[in-house]
């Protein structure tokens, strides 16, 4: 029977690599599938991993309809055995509902990959709905590490190397003041302790070099 399976983890835990491997394995067994992604690091309409691997993908924006797409494909005589859906945290609640409907009504397997929480430690809309509906949830076994060596459990956003905990979930740039230099936005995985302390690798290094820091803590 078809299933909606969720694969979740923090950044750097190998979710996109596993999504690529999942697609490869099913195609190697003669199954026909479709690959989807949203706001991939490599650009639009692509699923890429940090290891340098990538495949073409169907871009999922806010108005994309999974149910309509799959029904149209089947109506035209196409074959769809499974869907690989990367960056599922960016999907809307309705899109996740569509994926569950595709599993139940069309008997198509759905493998969804995503990050659970944003840089504020709050669940993404898509991730929340996926947890509510998934037949099975898999936590990725590749452990991402905080700069301190502990297991990373939280995603952090930095601006010019300093961690921030407020702002839009998806950064599209500062459009209010074109003359104001834009901060360099980055992301980093941290353990809970250092996320709570807002201590990134950069700020930890700066603190270690500061003459005001006492040799104990």
Query: Are residues 135 and 101 both part of a single domain?
Result: yes
Residue 85: inside a domain, yes or no?
yes
pLDDT score at 217:
43
The domain boundary, picked from 109, 139, 169, lies at 139
CATH number assigned to the domain comprising residue 50: 3.40.50.300
Query: Are residues 75 and 127 both part of a single domain?
Result: yes
pLDDT score at 103:
98
Is there a contact between 9 and 117 (Cβ–Cβ < 8 Å)? Answer: no
Question: In what side-by-side order are the strands of the sheet with 185-190?
Answer: 162-164, 154-159, 185-190
The 10 Å Cβ neighbour count of residue 180 is: 8
Residue 123, judged by CB atoms within 10 A of its CB (0-12, 13-18, 19+), counts as middle
pLDDT score at 12:
77
Query: Are residues 170 and 100 both part of a single domain?
Result: no
Query: Are residues 63 and 125 both part of a single domain?
Result: yes
Range of the domain at 121: 4-139
Query: Are residues 99 and 131 both part of a single domain?
Result: yes
Average confidence (pLDDT) over 52-74? 94
**pLDDT above 70 for 38:** yes
| Structural domain total, the chain | 2
Q: How far is the C-alpha of 71 from the C-alpha of 67, rounded, in Å?
A: 6
The domain boundary, picked from 139, 164, 192, lies at 139
Is there a contact between 161 and 185 (Cβ–Cβ < 8 Å)? Answer: no
Residue 19: inside a domain, yes or no?
yes
Residue 149: inside a domain, yes or no?
no
Query: Are residues 86 and 182 both part of a single domain?
Result: no
Tokens of 128: 């929340």
Unique residue bearing structure tokens 């950044």? 11
**pLDDT above 70 for 145:** yes
Question: Which residue among 3, 87, 132, 159 is the active-site one?
Answer: 87
Task: Tell me the per-residue pLDDT of 91-117, one tens digit each, with 9 for 90 and over.
Answer: 999 999 999 999 999 999 999 999 988
Query: Are residues 67 and 99 both part of a single domain?
Result: yes
pLDDT score at 166:
75
pLDDT score at 14:
81
Residue 76: inside a domain, yes or no?
yes
**pLDDT above 50 for 68:** yes
Residue 100: inside a domain, yes or no?
yes
The 10 Å Cβ neighbour count of residue 89 is: 24
Query: Are residues 37 and 134 both part of a single domain?
Result: yes
**pLDDT above 80 for 64:** yes
Region class of 153: left (phi > 0), else alpha (psi between -120 and 50), else beta = alpha
The domain boundary, picked from 90, 115, 139, lies at 139
Query: Are residues 41 and 112 both part of a single domain?
Result: yes
- Percentage of the chain modeled with pLDDT above 70: 87
Whether 87 is catalytic is yes
pLDDT score at 165:
78
For residue 72, give Cα distances in angstroms to 62, 104, 197.
19, 17, 50
- Percentage of the chain modeled with pLDDT above 90: 50
For the chain, the average pLDDT equals: 86
Query: Are residues 126 and 201 both part of a single domain?
Result: no
Round the CA-based radius of gyration of the chain to a whole number and report it: 20
Average confidence (pLDDT) over 118-145? 90
């Amino acid at each position: 029977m078809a299933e909606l399976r969720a694969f979740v983890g923090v950044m750097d835990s190998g979710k996109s690599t596993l999504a690529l491997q999942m697609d490869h394995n099913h195609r190697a067994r003669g199954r026909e599938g479709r690959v989807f992604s949203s706001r991939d690091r490599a650009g639009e309409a692509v699923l890429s991993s940090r290891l340098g691997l990538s495949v073409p993908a169907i871009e999922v924006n806010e108005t994309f309809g999974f149910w309509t797409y799959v029904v149209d494909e089947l109506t035209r005589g196409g074959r769809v055995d499974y869907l690989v859906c990367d960056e599922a945290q960016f999907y809307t609640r309705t899109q996740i509902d569509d994926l569950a409907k595709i599993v139940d009504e069309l008997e198509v397997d759905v493998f969804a990959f995503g990050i659970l929480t944003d840089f504020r430690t709050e669940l993404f809309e898509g991730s929340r709905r996926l947890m509510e509906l998934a037949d099975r949830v898999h936590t990725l076994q590749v452990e991402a590490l905080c700069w301190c060596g502990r297991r990373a459990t939280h995603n952090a956003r930095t601006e010019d190397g300093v961690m921030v905990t407020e702002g839009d979930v998806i950064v599209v740039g500062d459009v209010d003041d074109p003359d104001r230099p834009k901060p360099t936005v980055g992301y980093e995985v941290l353990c809970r302790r250092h996320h709570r302390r807002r201590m990134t690798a950069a700020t930890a290094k700066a603190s270690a070099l500061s003459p005001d820091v006492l040799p104990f803590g």
